[in-house]
Amino acid sequence: MRVLHVWNTAGVASILAKHQRKLLNWDTWVIYRRKYDRYGFTVYGELSNLPSILFYLKTLIKAVKFNVIHIHDIDRIIPFLRSVYGSKKIIIHYHGSSIRGRWREKEKYWSKADMVFVSTKDLYEEAPSKASVYYIPNPVDTDIFKPIKMRKVRKGALFIYDESPKLRESLNWAKTIASKYGLKLYIHYRNRTPIPYTYLPIFLNKFEYFIDHTWVPALSKTALEALACGLNVIRWDNKVISGLPHENKPEYPVRLIAELLS
C-alpha cells in the first residue's frame, strides 16, 4: 500500500505514516507547510515553504505515485484531487474544530471522499451520515512519549493554556480542581513559550498530574500524551484517570485503518 498523508494536524499524520511503514511495511510519506508546524510535529515527512496554491499543486504532483491520499483537515483540496485522480482512494480525516458543528457547511468537500475519519467520538456522533464515517482514535507516539525517571514536582499539576476564548472557562475550572485536590498548579502559556514536540515528554514528566480542558467531552492529544508518560489526567468530568488506553496506542489505529482500506 502506498499512502500519501497531506497536512499534519497535531502530528497525527506523522505518527500514522511512521507506524504504517514500521508495522505494515507500507510506502508512506507526509507533506505539510512549515508555516503551520510551530511545535515541530513533523518528525516523519517533509515540510514545504510553498504558499497554499503551490502547495496544492505540489500535492497533486506528489500524489501520482500513491494509491491512497489521506487528507488531514484541509478538505478544500479534495475536489481538485478527485477531478484529477478519479480512481484513487481519498480519505478526509477530521481532528476537531475544522469540522465540529460544520458538517452541513462542509458536505461539498467530505462527500467527495471515499472515507471520512474522525479523531473523537463526539465528532462521530454529530456526523449527519455515518455510512462512510469512521472513528479513528488519536494515536500517541509511544516511541517518544513514555515515563522518564526524573525528579517530579510533588503533587504538581500542569495545565497548558493558549489564551484562546474556549479555554478561559477551562482555566478557571483547572484552578478550582487543583484547589479541590490540593495540587500545586502550574499554568504554561503555550502561545508565549511554545514547547517543541520532541521536548514535550521531558516537560510532562516533571509533573504528577495533567489537567485537561472542559470545552469538549474528549481527551486532548496532549492529555493522551501525558497518560503515556505516566501522569494522572483529570478530564472534563472531574474524573482522574491513568494509563494510556489501548485504542490510543499506534498499533490499534494503524491496523484499524488497514482493515478499512482492505
The per-residue pLDDT for 214 is 87
Quote the pLDDT of residue 160: 94
Q: How far is CA 155 from CA 12, 134, 207, 226, in A?
A: 30, 38, 7, 15
pLDDT of residue 27: 98
| pLDDT tens column, 192-207 | 899 999 999 999 999 9
pLDDT of residue 250: 98
Burial class (CB in 10 A: 0-12, 13-18, 19+), 222: buried
Half-sphere exposure for 197 (CA within 13 Å, toward CB): 20
Q: Is there a contact between 84 and 17 (Cβ–Cβ < 8 Å)? A: no
216 close to 100: Cβ distance less than 8 angstroms:
yes
CA distance 66 to 85: 11
pLDDT at 55: 97
Q: What's the chain's Rg over C-alpha atoms?
A: 19
What is the pLDDT, as a whole number, of residue 216?
A: 86
CA distance 229 to 200: 10
pLDDT digits (tens, 9 = 90+) for 103-153: 999 999 999 999 999 999 999 999 988 778 999 999 999 999 999 999 999
CA distance linking residue 255 with residue 20, whole number of Å = 8
Helices 12-24 and 251-261, interaxial angle, to 10°?
80
Report the distance separating Cα 55 and Cα 50, nearest Å: 5
Q: What is the dihedral of CA 202, 204, 206, 209, to 10 degrees?
A: -160
In the chain, alpha helices (H): 12-24, 52-62, 78-84, 107-110, 121-126, 165-181, 200-204, 221-228, 251-261
Residue 165 has pLDDT above 80, yes or no: no
- pLDDT of residue 167 exceeding 90: no
pLDDT at 215: 84
Straight-line distance from the first to the last Cα atom of the chain, in angstroms, rounded to the nearest whole number: 10
pTM equals 0.94
Residue 65 has pLDDT above 80, yes or no: yes
Domains of the chain: 2-138+250-261 (3.40.50.2000), 156-243 (3.40.50)
Q: What is the mean pLDDT of residues 94-102?
A: 93
166 has a pLDDT exceeding 80 = no
Separation CA 207–CA 76 (nearest Å): 40
